[in-house]
Structure 1
Amino acid sequence: MKIVVQVKLQPTPEQESALDATLRAANQAANEVSQRAFKTGKRNRKALQGLAYGWLKSEGFSAQPALHIIRKVADSYTILKANIDAGNLGRKGAKRRVRAESKPTAFRAVSAQPFDDRCLSWNYNARTVSIWTTAGRMKNVRFGCASNDLKTLMQHRKGESDLMFRDGKWFLIATCEVPEEPQFEPVDWIGVDRGINNLATTSDSVNYSGRRLGRYRRWQARKRAEIQAKRTRSAARLLKKRAKREARHAGHMNHTIAKDVVAVAQRTERGIALEELGGIRERVTVRRDQRATQSSWPFHQLGSFIAYKAQRAGVPVIEVDAAYTSQHCPLCGHTERANRPTRDDFRCRRCGLAGPADVVAGINVRDRARSAWVFVNMPQPTS
């Protein structure tokens, strides 16, 4: 499976100037190629290469950087078409879709730029890289990363790496091909119910509370309101910085939860069952005072973290229907809204089964995974 490793570059002032000039030149050229593609309608890689390769070479780009710029532009139009076909930009005639279709795709001055092994080489022992720039090959650019990331780079790095400038710092995002463990046949399933007050609750009655994250986010919201009231440029920069800090905090918590869930599943040879929550924000209506909480709820990130960690460990993952998991009685099968008198409690009106609502939901997710797995692995009749 593919994963990425981020390393922080530590260039000298002269090296930083060369990297900045290279990134800006590449994106300026990409914008020019994009405009030509828009005017001529030639948007796939092969057609764009015939259209723009000679011009890029005349502008001083070497062969591989020129090809990467062309592929970068072609991929941007491929992504645009995929979003239009999927309806992500609205129906035909929608303002957002018309706006996207009426102009060429554009790149920021410091958008990420890909480099392959012909343009970028690594010296892991010295922790330096040699990279192509518009000023020539630049050697001995130092980088720093965690020891585990360095080990992953040395053993599994394969393919392109992206040069990125973010928040005044330089990074390389390296692609690594990490071998997967063979997926085992699960003896049972762990149902995982995701929520807001409780970020995750398993069918084993293990609860990962979201109270700490909720307090942290409420504190951040108060600070944002104070900073926004100032309405200055420095306040805008500080808001951006705080938003990224909050996202990193939530990501760290989700990584921790996903790691624990996958470790238990691997140790007990069970699969992981998740609720299928796609489009939940459109399906579920909440009170006005809860909208910000729901819109910032990182449930999708938690699910994706569990999925990729499980794939790497060989743990099966299945998604099941999320409908009525917190209102359905796993003992007698009775489903009723009144089965959940409060947010935290479940009490079946028919058989009297009672317990924490999130644990009951996790058990229902587990039971649905059992049925779904049997159906998926059922031999298909031959004609």
Structure 2
Amino acid sequence: MCVRSVIVKLVVQVKLTPDAVQAPTLERTLHAVNEAANRVSAVSFRHFKLKGGVRELRKLCYGELKADGFGAQAAQHIIKRVADAYTTLRANIRAGNLGPEDSKRRRKAESKSVAFRPHAAHTYDDRCLSWNYDQRTVSVWTLDGRVKNVRFTCSPGALKQLTQYRQGESDLVFRDGKWFLIATCEILEAAPFEPKGFIGVDRGITNLATTSDGDNHTGRRLNRYRRWQARKRAELQARQTRSAKQLLKKRARRESRHATHVNHMISKTVVAVAQRTERGIALEELGGIRERVTVPRDQRARQSSWPFHQLGAFIAYKARRTGVPFIEVDPAYTSQRCVRCGHTERANRRTRDHFHCRRCGLAGPADHVAGANIAKRGATAWVFVNMPDPAPRYSAGAGRCDP
């Protein structure tokens, strides 16, 4: 049997610490690159509307970019960035992400060229940017020539990933006055082992994640943080000044990074337990939960803003990296079904936190019961998915195969 190797793509972010001479050079180059991208975007929109490709743009813009002082590779990357931006826009329009054909948002997107911010990230390949992992420095192409020995900092684990798995291009990012490089790493998936059982994970708003083992990752501390951020946002919105709007964007990014950090910590803990106990992980399939589920008014903001999908994606890719079996199951009635006798009734869960089966009397935390039901469904679904196909039956002398 041929086993196909599957690659997991991850990104590693390192912080650059350029000196007083290197930083202005990087900033001037990033500004110039994005100005050039805006010019190429305008040419693409004028000649092709939203349908311009790399080959067509190269014929129109490559010579002009070279005359402006950009190297061959830099010019190619600018053209490719613009073409990729229009490809993404077309895909979003086809998927309906910008609304129906007569919506204001879609008409606005289709009526003008794609614009790039002055500090938008720019892509570098190995010809324009080289790494020295031993000295923790990079050499970067700029309009003023090659800037060498730009120091970077990262964790030992991130440095190990860069050294062993970095492939392809890296993005130069300027954010909140700081410089970053985001590199792509390609890691082979570990071969999944045969699970000895499953850990069910129930995701929620009050309790972010509760496992079938009874481990509860509560969201109380996070909710206090989010309420504090909401009060600060209200204060800034009341000012209605330009600086207040900039601070609002900065706070939004900070809150997003905090939520990402919390999801990383939860997913890392769940996957580590599954790997240590040689069990798989079962999750609820929560696609479209915001449209299907109604919640009280005081929980609407939390339901709409908390990244449930991100937590599931983090658990999925960490499981794949370590070879832990992963499966998603139907979430219907997991918090109303008795894990012992199977009796399903809404009255089994009279309150949000407590479960009490009206048939057999089983009682306990509702999220723990839901996690146990998810674990049972995961074990059943795993057996069904991995069930070998029945061998075909051949009729003697007939020369045919019966299904």
Q: TM-score, normalised by structure 1?
A: 0.94
User: What's the offset of the Cα at 1:340?
Assistant: 0.9
Instruction: Answer with 142-151 or 217-226: which moved more.
Output: 217-226
Alignment partner of 1:20 is 2:27: yes
Q: Partner letter of residue 330 of structure 1?
A: V
User: What's the offset of the Cα at 1:232?
Assistant: 4.2
Instruction: Answer with 370-379 or 232-241: which moved more.
Output: 232-241
Alignment partner of 1:173 is 2:182: yes
Q: Partner letter of residue 167 of structure 1?
A: D
Alignment partner of 1:294 is 2:303: yes
Instruction: Answer with 228-237 or 36-45: which moved more.
Output: 228-237
Alignment partner of 1:346 is 2:355: yes
Alignment partner of 1:283 is 2:281: no
Q: Distance in 1 between matches of 2:73 and 2:180?
A: 20
Query: In the alignment, what sits opposite 1:29?
Result: 36
Which residue of 69, 75, 79 corresponds with 2:84? 75
**TM-superposition CA deviations, 1:75-103 (whole Å, max 9, x none):** 11111122122221222222222222222
User: What's the offset of the Cα at 1:227?
Assistant: 4.0
Instruction: Answer with 182-191 or 256-265: which moved more.
Output: 182-191
Instruction: Answer with 53-62 or 267-276: which moved more.
Output: 53-62
**TM-superposition CA deviations, 1:181-213 (whole Å, max 9, x none):** 212122221110001111110111111111111
Alignment partner of 1:45 is 2:64: no
Q: Distance in 2 between matches of 1:235 and 1:98?
A: 29
Instruction: Answer with 342-351 or 112-121: which moved more.
Output: 342-351
Alignment partner of 1:5 is 2:50: no
Identical counterparts, % of pairs: 68
Query: In the alignment, what sits opposite 1:196?
Result: 205
**TM-superposition CA deviations, 1:335-362 (whole Å, max 9, x none):** 2222210000112233332221101111
Which residue of 374, 378, 381 corresponds with 2:387? 378
Q: Distance in 2 between matches of 1:331 and 1:198?
A: 23
**TM-superposition CA deviations, 1:32-68 (whole Å, max 9, x none):** 2122222222522233223322222222211111111
User: What's the offset of the Cα at 1:245?
Assistant: 3.1
**TM-superposition CA deviations, 1:299-328 (whole Å, max 9, x none):** 222112111211111112111122221112
Call closer, same or farther: CA 1:236–1:37 in 2, change over 3 Å. closer
Query: In the alignment, what sits opposite 2:263?
Result: 254
Q: Distance in 2 between matches of 1:204 and 1:166?
A: 41
**TM-superposition CA deviations, 1:200-253 (whole Å, max 9, x none):** 101111111111112222233233334444444444444433333333333222
User: What's the offset of the Cα at 1:270?
Assistant: 1.1
SS of corresponding position for 1:192: strand
Query: In the alignment, what sits opposite 2:234?
Result: 225
Q: Distance in 2 between matches of 1:188 and 1:211?
A: 30
Query: In the alignment, what sits opposite 1:216?
Result: 225
Query: In the alignment, what sits opposite 1:102?
Result: 111
Q: Distance in 1 between matches of 2:360 and 2:346?
A: 15
Q: Partner letter of residue 294 of structure 2?
A: T
Query: In the alignment, what sits opposite 2:170?
Result: 161
Instruction: Answer with 326-335 or 5-14: which moved more.
Output: 326-335
Instruction: Answer with 260-269 or 226-235: which moved more.
Output: 226-235
**TM-superposition CA deviations, 1:108-162 (whole Å, max 9, x none):** 1111000011000112222221111111111121222222222221222111010
Q: Distance in 1 between matches of 2:298 and 2:363?
A: 30
**Considering only CA atoms, is the larger Rg found in Structure 1 or Structure 2?**
2
Q: Partner letter of residue 42 of structure 2?
A: Q
SS of corresponding position for 1:328: coil
Instruction: Answer with 117-126 or 349-358: which moved more.
Output: 349-358
Q: Partner letter of residue 14 of structure 1?
A: V
Q: Distance in 2 between matches of 1:78 and 1:216?
A: 38
Structure 1: where are the runs of 5+ without partners? none
**TM-superposition CA deviations, 1:159-190 (whole Å, max 9, x none):** 10101110011111111122332121222211
After superposition, residues 348-367 of structure 1 pair within 5 angstroms as: 348-367=357-376
Q: TM-score, normalised by structure 2?
A: 0.89
Aligned residues: 383
Alignment partner of 1:130 is 2:144: no
Instruction: Answer with 142-151 or 258-267: which moved more.
Output: 142-151
Which residue of 314, 319, 325 corresponds with 1:305? 314
Call closer, same or farther: CA 1:202–1:71 in 2, change over 3 Å. same
Q: Distance in 2 between matches of 1:48 and 1:236?
A: 36
Instruction: Answer with 33-42 or 231-240: which moved more.
Output: 231-240
Instruction: Answer with 243-252 or 314-323: which moved more.
Output: 243-252
RMSD across aligned C-alpha pairs, in angstroms? 1.9
Q: Distance in 2 between matches of 1:12 and 1:189?
A: 51
**TM-superposition CA deviations, 1:246-276 (whole Å, max 9, x none):** 3333322222211111011111111111111
SS of corresponding position for 2:10: strand
Q: Distance in 2 between matches of 1:224 and 1:109?
A: 26
SS of corresponding position for 2:169: strand
SS of corresponding position for 2:21: helix
Query: In the alignment, what sits opposite 2:396?
Result: none
SS of corresponding position for 1:13: coil
